[in-house]
């Protein structure tokens, strides 16, 4: 009986750990935007998911390229440029706040997170299209 109870606890712990490890954001949050901190959290979690997907697609793309191919370097530059472009997303945040850089939980940080989400979403589509063409 003791052995069965331990086995059940281990099984439940494993399922709980696995569900937490693969938990993703809920895209339904986009249906409930209303400004403020909740929007920033929604966009932030969604863009993290996109970043993880983009890394997977990037690795799949690199695997289609022969060693030493010049396009591998170009793809690496593209990825680095996309990462660097995120810093410009503070512009809409601060423009909406009359160019203030300190924010008090208002909707302005959501503008920055939305910008990053949109960049990552466009990057995701670009990478998917490249992978489709590479596997054509």
Q: How far is CA 64 from CA 80, 127, 136, in A?
A: 19, 13, 11
pTM over 0.95: no
Tell me what pLDDT residue 102 has. 76
CA distance 66 to 102: 48
| Whether the predicted pLDDT of 59 surpasses 70 | yes
- Higher model confidence: residue 40 or residue 118? 118
The 10s digit of each residue's pLDDT in 96-125 is 778 887 766 566 788 899 999 999 999 999
Question: Residue 85 corresponds to which tokens in the numbers above?
Answer: 């472009």
CATH of 25-134, one of 1.20.1260.10, 1.10.260.40, 3.30.530.20, 1.20.1270.180: 1.20.1270.180
pLDDT bucket at 12, cuts 50 / 70 / 90: very low
Q: Band the pLDDT of 91: cuts 50, 70, 90.
A: very high
């Amino acid at each position: 009986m003791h052995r069965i109870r331990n086995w059940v606890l281990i099984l439940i712990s494993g399922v709980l750990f696995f569900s937490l490890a693969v938990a993703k954001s809920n895209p339904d949050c986009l249906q409930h935007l209303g400004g403020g901190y909740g929007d920033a959290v929604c966009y932030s979690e969604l863009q993290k998911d996109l970043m993880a997907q983009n890394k997977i697609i990037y690795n799949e793309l690199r695997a289609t390229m022969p060693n030493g191919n010049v396009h591998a370097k170009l793809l690496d530059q593209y990825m680095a440029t996309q990462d660097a472009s995120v810093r410009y997303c503070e512009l809409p945040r601060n423009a909406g706040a009359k160019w203030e850089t300190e924010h008090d939980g208002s909707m302005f940080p959501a503008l920055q997170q939305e910008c990053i989400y949109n960049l990552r979403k466009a990057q995701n589509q670009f990478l998917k299209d490249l992978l489709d063409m590479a596997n054509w």
